Amino acid sequence: MTVATTVIGQSARALRRVVIERVEPEVDGGRFAIKRTVGGEVRVRADIYADGHDLLGAVLLYRPAGESVWAEVPMRAVNNDRWEARFRVEKLGRYVYTIVAWVDAFRTWSADLQKRAAAGQDISVDVLIGAEMVTAAVGRAPGAVARRLAEAAAKLKQSAKANREAALGIALDPELASLVNRNRDLAGDARYEKELAVVVDPEKARFSAWYEMFPRSCTTDPKRHGTFLDCIDRLPYVAGMGFDILYLPPIHPIGRSERKGKNNSTTPTSEDTGSPWAIGAKEGGHKAIHPQLGSLEDLKALVGKAGEFGIDVALDIAFQVSPDHPYVKEHREWFRERPDGTVQYAENPPKKYQDIYPFNFDTERAPELWEELKSVVTSWIEQGIHVFRVDNPHTKPFAFWEWMIGEVKREHPEVIFLSEAFTRPKVMYQLAKLGFTQSYTYFAWKNTSWEITQYFTELQEGDILEYFRPNLWPNTPDILNDYLQKSGRPGFMIRFILATTLAASYGIYGPAFELCEGRAVREGSEEYLDSEKYQIRVWDINNPNSLRDLITHMNRIRHGSPALQQNTGLKFHPVDNPQMIAYSKVCDDPADMIFVVVNLDPHNRQAGWVNVDVAALHLGSEESYRVHDLLTDARYVWHGSRNFVDLNPALLPAHVFRVHSIG
């Protein structure tokens, strides 16, 4: 039997005429889920069309992944066979969605009937055709609905010749059309061949402010190791600035073999504390706590007290070990041996990390390794930790992360994973697709107007923001870029304002950042002099030169601005001075349109004419409008697209305007 014979042999009612294609959002053909947070909206669009001129109907179906009953939302045609509908995700976990469309024979009949009647044609036979459609739906409808349909069919037949106006009234009744559609013959429906997924995370996955702090440096004496209880005393300081995630570098026992000394020295003294990322000693490994930090109960006390301030405590997950880690003795098969019988330590030539052994994921014992590493995460979840910053995930297999994150979030959908992957763009994006909730970016090295514009325009393109949530860090314990080394306090202000307004989530490594720590270990290096990675540092958090007040103010602005709490709606506006940059953030709330202008030169006053794309701000080309500087409370009236800005970085290097239409 030929294909043609098979198709021709199908009954007309079973022949699916509708095409559904170009569905959005859909990541890599549906291979990966999109991301939302609780209460977020999913806008679904698709091309839906059929042969001929019949009208179509379509619904968007969605449900939580663990449930069997679909909710449906009618789709509407917007233009050129493009249809759309929206739904909200109301709880953590996963949702799935798809589309069903059909030829809407009844509505086509109703529309044609109205045209014939308007032309003065005889519609009696056409009314009877409609009555047959309604009668056919009776047999597919439940009791009360069936009776309603039967009554409508009878009235149509009765009025076919005797009462033209009555027939039209019945035929054009939207409630009747809805009932007939809901009880249509489903055999002709076209269903999109994929069920697409949405991962729903807590709100802090979308909008958050991270503060990184070394617990051992929460001390006033460099010879006294800070503790979790000291961190509790520091909480009012962190909360007062407006941070909602407190990130702690590894809190585990630190190895002594090959320990690094101050400034990454390979000849440490007996008093050197070592790097927290050299995990594992006789006291234990990834599930243990460094004894000088305190006890597990102390950590739980810190987590509980942080919660009272609205702060989540995040822990570092670094899947690597020191030579003293119990895994090295108990599971030698999890590591790569060199020809001389020693374990291969970590390298990034010419850099050598003799105090760190990476895991060998290519071993035949990989399944046991995977399970053990997953148990590290779940053990801390059991202690009340639900946020993790993951160190160098790009150096571990993609398959491992997809499996591990999927397994963890199946039981704990509230967990947030931040990917610290400074690597090639496609690798960063792939890790996000595989399940990482947020991602570090190249922001630290984007300092000119052109670089910033190009990079953040790229992040807005295609479907990237459907799965990639950028988290902007102007500094980290590993990154003190050249700009911060040479720009002084104004440079730190500039980078902070950029980080807090270009993306919904950001982080700083403090107190180094707010105290404008810009001393590098040597020229050309991004390592800090006297890096906190290798020693205890005492920080004067009450230093009057601190950026504490600016940080507090900007976090308050962000919490009052829906536009700054999302990654969409970013647009750059030309400035005739390349030392300046201007951009806007808009959202669905017309009362919150944000316009930012920044002087990128930390040393000199800069001025220029900003060419405002007024259409992007929903303003007329010649309209006057107010701009309210949320940083200084100053107010100005701007007119049209061309406006002048003058910024002195020694005072304040930016405007963060809220735009108000006067008309």
Q: What is the mean pLDDT of each run of 10 residues along the chain (663 residues)?
A: 51 73 98 98 98 96 97 96 98 98 95 92 92 94 94 91 86 93 93 98 98 98 96 98 98 96 94 97 98 98 98 98 97 94 87 91 95 98 98 98 98 98 97 98 98 97 97 98 98 98 98 98 96 97 97 98 98 98 95 97 98 95 95 97 97 97 84
pLDDT of residue 1: 52
From 391, 517, 532, 592, active-site residue: 391
Do residues 328 and 437 share a domain? no
* DSSP β-bridge partners for residue 645: 608
Is residue 515 domain-shared with residue 380, that is, in the same domain? Answer: yes
Q: What is the pLDDT of residue 13?
A: 46
Residue at 234 is within a domain: yes
SS3 at position 537: coil
- Are 222 and 262 members of one domain? no
- Note the helical H segments in 503-639: 548-559
Q: Which of 522, 539, 560 is the last residue of a domain?
A: 560
Identify whether residues 469 and 522 lie together within a single domain: yes
Q: What is the DSSP letter of 615?
A: G
- Do residues 57 and 157 share a domain? yes
- Predicted confidence at residue 296, as pLDDT, reads 98
Tell me: do 503 and 429 sit in the same domain: yes
CA 223 – CA 219 distance, rounded (Å): 9
Mark whether 420 is an active-site residue. yes
Residues 540, 494 share a domain: yes
pLDDT for 353 equals 86
Is there a domain that residue 301 lies in? Answer: yes
Residue 544 has a pLDDT of 96
Cα gap 22→635, rounded to integer Å: 46
> Would you say residue 186 lies in a domain?
yes
Q: In this structure, what token pair is assigned to residue 73?
A: 């939302």
Cα 342 to the center of its chain, rounded Å: 42
In a domain, 241, yes or no: yes
**Is the residue at 7 inside a domain?**
yes
456 and 586 in a single domain? The answer is: no
- CATH number of the domain that residue 611 is part of: 2.60.40.1180
171 & 45 share domain: yes
Domain boundary among 153, 179, 200: 200
Is residue 565 situated within a structural domain? Answer: no
Domain identity same for 180 and 240: no
In DSSP notation, 305-369 reads HHHHTT-EEEEEE--EE-TTSHHHHH-GGGSPBPTTSPBPPEEETTEEETT-EE--TTSTTHHHH
- Catalytic entry in 230, 272, 298, 420: 420
Local structure of 66: helix, strand or coil: coil
Residue 407 annotated to the active site:
no
- The CATH number of the domain holding residue 317 is 3.20.20.80
Residue 13 belongs to some domain of the structure:
yes
499 domain-assigned: yes
pLDDT reported for residue 12: 46
H, E, C per residue of 459-495:
HHCCCHHHHCCEEECCCECCECCHHHHHHHHHHHHHH
The total of structural domains in the chain comes to: 4
In this structure, what CATH number is given to the domain that contains residue 139? 2.60.40.10
For residues 547 and 648, membership in a common domain is answered with no
Same domain, 501 and 471: yes
β-pair type (346-348, 580-585): unpaired
Domain that holds residue 342: 257-286+323-358
604: CB partners within 8 A, 6+ apart:
579, 649
Domain edge (last residue) among 560, 587, 613: 560
